[in-house]
Amino acid sequence: MGKPTGFLEIVRRDRTYAPVTQRVLHYDEFVVPLSPDDLKNQGARCMDCGIPYCHAGCPVNNVIPDWNDLVYRDRWHAACDALHATNNFPEFTGRVCPAPCETSCTLNLSDSPVTIRTIECAIVDRGWAEGWLGPHIPRHRSGTRVAVIGSGPAGMACAQQLARAGHSVVVFEKAPRIGGLLRYGIPDFKLNKALIDRRIAQMRAEGVEFRPNTHVGVNCPVDHIQDRFDALVLAGGAEHPRDLTVPGRDLGGIHFAMDYLRQQNHINAGHPVPSDKRILATGKHTVVIGGGDTGSDCVGTAIRQGAASVTQIEIMPKPPEREKKDVTWPDWPLKLRTSSSQEEGCRRDWSVTTKRFSGTDGKVATLHAVRVDNAMREIPGSEFDMPANLVLLAMGFLHPVQEGLLADLGVAVDERRNVKASMDNYQTSQPHIFAAGDMRRGQSLVVWAIREGRQCARAVDAFLMGRSDLPR
């Protein structure tokens, strides 16, 4: 704690966004970073609490008070080392994490937590700019081979940890490019894809081999992998989306959010989509069903595509503007949050459910809705319609795809149909097969995927070597 009175003297300041009118004209990131002086001051607000609730609130247990102090003291290189002790990819979490650490920060009791995520992001961005983040080449090779199936944040973190422990690691990915939902779900305006490419280059230098366009269980039989590797890590995400089975669902113009988002990310990367397959919001009344991150990303994308209007509906009631701190802190509270995409010009409505769709010439034109009470019972007489030429279903993901990989391997699944494996050893019903990230825990967050990837790597290392020095 560099400045004992920092939290009393300095007010919270955070990154700002470029004005809406400018940022909706492109797909680039639009966050305006803090200056080094501001970052130093914000680091000085940290009280180095005896019980650092931030540290417990962070799924990767980042040693937050340590690097806040190091930034205050202008010891950026040491801060970068401390940050990477617990997180392989802080530039991802520094951009897209909802920052449960800030929710649990003691200063959040007065609504002004330390700007932890901004400091995290500044440290790692500086680390790359200064050239402090080279590959960690292992000194010894173990002679064992591990296949990681899925290249999202869980697969990437697991592969990097295992390679650093000396194992030969091959990452299999069905998509043309590496990164999972970081690459194809989260829009470029939230996460620049060059950041993923930079980590891939680092991992390649550490010995990780990437095999894109390889769909295990489809164009690559599971036996082929089983025969050639000593251990397998299943990190294929939770890709089965929740559908809306109402009349009119089969009309044209109703799509799953990921089919829509993936296309725009492809196009931004210079990979055209055939015009007859293109899903575009341009000039259309666009309705996004589902109020979470995925829905927000659809909103921001539709606005950039020039939608005639964007409406986001949610079946749950509108959350309170403010949480009751004495009841919720340091846990994640239910409260109204407005994403940068929602700020860009979207109408939001809560306690609404979709009854049916109607349209002409096989294309959707109207969404017929009804209001529900807090127990989600329909309120008689509250039916209403809204124009909808494009409907995006962003109601979450149910579980991993069962066909192919999981069915062929025959690993047990839990009652939610996620791969069954405990957080102690990440081992599935077959001892040499492990699972991590959304494929094991269900739809979650990037930071949880990184945590599970890291912990799973340690479990695999211990399984192969009898012990492990990798951190948990």
Ligand X SMILES: Cc1cc2nc3c(=O)[nH]c(=O)nc-3n(C[C@H](O)[C@H](O)[C@H](O)COP(=O)(O)OP(=O)(O)OC[C@H]3O[C@@H](n4cnc5c(N)ncnc54)[C@H](O)[C@@H]3O)c2cc1C
Q: Is residue 155 at the binding interface for ligand X, with CB under 6 A as the rule?
A: yes
Q: Which does 206 bind (CB under 5 to 8 A by kind): ligand X, ligand SF4, none?
A: none
What's the rounded Cα separation, in Å, for the pair 220 and 243? 28
Contact between 52 and ligand SF4 per CB under 6 A: yes
d(CA 330, CA 226): 44
Which of 15-23, 50-58, 144-152, 323-331 is the region at the interface with ligand X (rule: CB under 6 A)?
Answer: 144-152
223's contact among ligand SF4, ligand X, none, with CB below 5 to 8 A by partner kind, is none
Tokens standing for residue 453? 């990837």
Q: Is 174 in the site for ligand X (CB under 6 A)?
A: yes
Q: How many Cα atoms occupy the beta-carbon half-sphere of 129 within 13 Å? A: 8
Distances (CA, A) of 168 to 165, 182, 229, 231: 9, 24, 9, 11
Q: Is 148 in the site for ligand SF4 (CB under 6 A)?
A: no
Phi, psi (deg, nearest 5) at residue 125: -60, -40
Binding mask of the shown chain, residues 76 to 105, with x at each position contacting ligand SF4 by CB under 6 A? -----------------------------x
CA distance 406 to 146: 17
Interaction of residue 160 with ligand SF4, rule CB under 6 A: no
Pair of tokens at residue 201: 């280059």
Contact between 173 and ligand X (CB under 6 A)? yes
Between 44 and 181, name the residue whose CB sits nearer to ligand SF4.
Answer: 44
Instruction: Name the residue among 175, 173, 142, 176 with its Cα closest to residue 155.
Output: 173
Name the nearest CA neighbour of 179 among 159, 164, 207: 159
Q: Is 64 in the site for ligand SF4 (CB under 6 A)?
A: yes
The item of ligand SF4, ligand X, none sharing an interface with residue 71, based on CB under 5 to 8 Å by kind, is none
Touching ligand X, residues 390-429 (CB under 6 A): 404-405
Segment interacting with ligand X, rule: CB under 6 A, options 278-286, 290-298, 315-323, 349-357: 290-298
Among 44, 47, 124, 157, binds ligand SF4 (CB under 6 A): 47
- Residue given tokens 């290189």 in the structure block: 77
The answer to the question of residue 59 lying near ligand X (CB under 6 A) is no
Q: Which amino acid is at 175?
A: A
435 binds, among ligand SF4, ligand X, none (CB under 5 to 8 A by kind): none
Nearer residue to ligand SF4 within complex by CB, 114 or 288: 114
Scanning 31-39, 80-88, 180-188, 300-308 for contacts with ligand X by CB under 6 A, the matching segment is: 180-188
Give the x/- contact pattern for ligand SF4 in 113-142, rule: CB under 6 A. Answer: -x-x--------------------------
CA distance 49 to 345: 40
Rounded alpha-carbon distances, angstroms, from residue 135 to 18, 373, 450: 34, 55, 18
Q: How far is it, in rounded angstroms, from Cα 58 to Cα 99?
A: 7
- Sign of the torsion formed by the C-alpha atoms of 395, 396, 402 and 403: positive
The two beta strands, 145-149 and 168-172, are: parallel
The two structure tokens encoding residue 379: 């309120």
Residue 294: what residue type? Answer: T
Which amino acid would we find at residue 258?
Answer: M
Residues engaged in binding ligand SF4 (CB under 6 A): 46-49, 52-54, 64-65, 68, 105-107, 114, 116
Residues engaged in binding ligand X (CB under 6 A): 96-97, 149-155, 172-175, 180-181, 185-186, 215-217, 235-237, 258, 261, 293-294, 297, 404-405, 437-439, 444-447, 449
